[in-house]
Amino acid sequence: MKENNKEYSLSELERMFDSDLSKGLDDSTILKNRTNYGKNVLEEKKKKPLWIKFLLEFKDPLIIILIIAAIVSIIIDLNEWIESLIIMIVVLLNAILGLYQENKAEKSLDALKKLSVASSKVVRNNSIATIDAKELVVGDIIIVEAGDSIPADARIIECSNLKVDEAALTGESVSVDKTSDYIEESNISLGDKKNCLFSSTNVTNGKARAIVTSVGMNTEIGKIGKMLNEDKEELTPLQHKLNSVGSLIGVMALIICVIVFILEMVSYNWNWEFFSDAFITSVALAVAAIPEGLATVVTIVLSIGVAKMSKKNAIVKKLPAVETLGSCNVICSDKTGTLTQNKMTVTSLYLNEIKEIKDLSNEEKKMLSYFAICCDASIENNNGKIIRVGDPTELALLDINNLYGNDIKIYKRLLDIPFDSDRKLMTTVIKDNNKYIAITKGALDRVLNLSIDDDSIKNKVLEANNYMASNALRVLALGIKEFDEMPLEKELEYDMKFMGLVGMIDPARKEVKESIRIAKNAGIKTVMITGDHIITAKAIAKELGILNENDKALTSNELDNLTDEYLYEHINEYSVYARVAPKDKVRIVKAWQKNNAIVAMTGDGVNDAPALKKADIGCAMGITGTDVSKEAADMILTDDNFSTIVSAVKEGRGIYDNIRKCVKYLLSSNIGEVLTIFIASLLTAFGFLNLGTPLSAMHLLWINLITDSLPAFGIGMEDVDSKVMYEKPRSKNEGFFHNGYILKIIFEGIIIGLVTLIAYIIGNNINHLLGSTMAFLTLSTTQLFHAYNVKSNHSIFSIKSYKNKFMNFAFIIGFTLQIIVIYTPGLRDLFEFVPMEFKYFAISIGLSFVIVIIMELYKLILRIKSKKN
């Protein structure tokens, strides 16, 4: 335990907690310590009730505008209840869809609680007992052994051959050798605290007795829980942009409402008897001017993207996360289990020379078998299920022997001297034919000093070791000693024959290098963040193409020495961070975000959870990932494959493009509707023509909810263009309507409005009902044609434009519904339409096709420019 950077001795801890290192706590001290230091449970963040979550679905500006407009509409005229009802149905549908997704909210602390072990062996009142882990208190003396999960943070009193797997907390794939030694050094990383045990890590070898120093929320895993609790939810880029769109539409609707009211009153010569009519017309128009289906369309488009991504091994928990990943320009990736296989693997050996594991001689195979014999790990086939028990390093030795070595089951181990951290050796004695062979494996310096006297041979071995180590391999040495009779233990571990070395590493995933290259081409920087040693991290990073010539790598301690300001200014220079703590990961993510980067964070351990939550998009591993990381993340990669992230980025970019197209389509259609009414009112107000109102609110609402929405869904289902991964990521500050997008929308809206108004004027010269009918058919059909213009850059006359089956279905259904409304008796009376003669029907369809001709010319110009470039 440390306080103010001071490392306390065991005797000091004993006094501080009123404990006894031999006898444990007594009953009165247990109660006192529980009061003073808390319970060994993880506190839950207070959850929002379902009804509050439901109400929060209505905070979107566009939704608020729709609700207000619907209420105002029904207050002004009770006959407008149908329109208001339809609006409210759309709003409720959108809220229910959003709540369904958001209700899969983060349960990070629930997952943390699941990591708590059920029971713990403890010394109390001078006797050993087994108690629920949640009953532990600070000062308790716990006993742990191989296979146990550690129930609380503790300081080791004594241990024997103790190894602990801390991958979930530190990210280091190799089990950590533990010791009871006092450590004077201060400010060391979690991975280097060799005399401490941490809650929810696992003992892989040996046993220990330790004094509990922290419980519950004060443990290292509890601190992670606090970070998750304190981190606030932030709006995604898409949510920001859609809010901006909603605000823009709201302002437009208000302005239109005022202007149309004034124009209506002008046409009535400011006769206040017609105030109600003018007000109802302007409010109804404002209601119709808002694309009622926008929020629902966007939600469904995102849902479609979620479904597509789930088929590609990416499960999205929150809809906006789909688009956010598509706009990211930095991926901060955990190494172990994400970029690597999370499985130690022997890759090379040294007998007389360094070589890869292939085409082995009999002597090299024998060496691998000797390594495998001198192991306490085991790999068993239990009814078809492979059960692997033991240290990852020893399991790697068993794996390589099973592939290339000899059968070791024929040998019986006659004597074992277990590994310990002082000797750094393990020895096993077997009988081979008439000889007794002592096999010793361990650290090179120990094996070398006990076996070789020839300096020239020793230098060659050291050169081989240095080469392997420089390539981030974990090196083990092997020595043997032969006896004619069964040896005594004291005769072992000296005057050995040096046999050779093996080098092992947690290797990079084969497909990751290509994925990183694709990400780089797409303008995305990959950053490695790991709890492993910096030499190992740099070697893997260079192999994968993460660490390039001018890139830097640094450790957690070096990172601590950098100010936030310096890190913010130089964050682009660093591609590898080693020996990191959870707080470091969050700090790195924040520094990138301060540089206006949209950050994706991948990870699988408990230690990754705070950074997963802080990042713009957190991606947890589905296979090796802990429950904590999965619950803290926005997305789960079910195959733990880095290449899945690249596929998700591509899908996210495509979805964002489709959403922009949906917004473009809906807004240009609504601008066309508004202009039709606005210009008609303008011409009437200034006495040029007596046009009246071309379309009623009922007509516009029908078109907005039926004709607009179905094609918009079709646009949202358009396949992703393969070219999106050759484009640079969008800037975090890039507006939704950048590069003149709003001008294109207005231009297209003007075309829609003008052809609709022309159709109305032609029909209105006969009678008003025919004019409204022609305007209705022209407007709805123009929008159906325009959906094909908007959905892709392909010509509408290309067969590629008709691959989208839903779009084809939407066109047929939309057009059919318009014909039914116009020609069905009773229904056409409700809408105040008249059946048209063929020539008026043909004129309407011909005017509708004008937008196709204009947009085809525009696309042709773009293609010509593209070829020139």
**Any idea which residues carry the catalytic annotation?**
334
Find out whether 225 and 42 touch, Cβ atoms under 8 Å. yes
Q: Are 189 and 230 in contact (CB under 8 A)?
A: no
Return the structure tokens found at 391.
């240290």
| Residue that has been written with the tokens 């003007």 in this structure | 750
Tell me how far apart the alpha carbons of residues 645 and 620 are, in angstroms, rounded to a whole number: 10
String of b and e for 66-95 (b: at least 16 CB within 10 Å)?
beebbebbbeebeebeebbebbeebbeebb
Q: What is the CA radius of gyration of the chain?
A: 36
DSSP letter assigned to residue 190 = G
Residue in the structure block whose two tokens are 């290339």 = 404
The full DSSP string for 255-317 is: HHHHHHHHHHHHHTTT-GGGHHHHHHHHHHHHHHHS-TTHHHHHHHHHHHHHHHHHTTTEEES
Helices (H), 9-134: 10-16, 27-37, 50-56, 61-76, 81-102, 108-114
Beta-carbon count within 10 A of 271 CB: 11
CA dist list (Å): 462 to 36, 367, 439, 675: 54, 18, 20, 83
* DSSP for residue 506: -
HSE, side-chain direction, 13 A CA sphere, residue 672: 34
Neighbours of 710 (CB within 10 A): 22
Instruction: Give the strand pairing for 330-334 and 345-350.
Output: unpaired
Say how far apart CA 706 and CA 296 lie, in whole Å: 13
Beta-carbon-side half-sphere exposure of residue 830 (alpha carbons within 13 Å): 11
Phi then psi for 20, rounded to 5 degrees? -135, 120
What stretches of 571-725 show up as alpha helix (H) in DSSP? 582-594, 609-614, 627-632, 642-685, 697-702, 709-716
φ, ψ dihedrals at 334, nearest 5°: -65, 150
Q: How would you write 638-675 as a 3-class SS string?
A: CCCCHHHHHHHHHHHHHHHHHHHHHHHHHHHHHHHHHH
Residues near 297 by beta carbon (within 8 Å), at least 6 away in sequence: 662, 666, 709, 712, 713, 716
Please name which of 806, 793, 820, 845 lies closest in space to residue 710, comparing C-alpha atoms.
806
- Would you mind telling me the total number of residues written for the chain in this entry? 869
d(CA 164, CA 392): 11
C-alpha neighbours within 13 Å on the C-beta side of residue 246: 21
Written as six digits, the tokens of 674 are: 């508004």
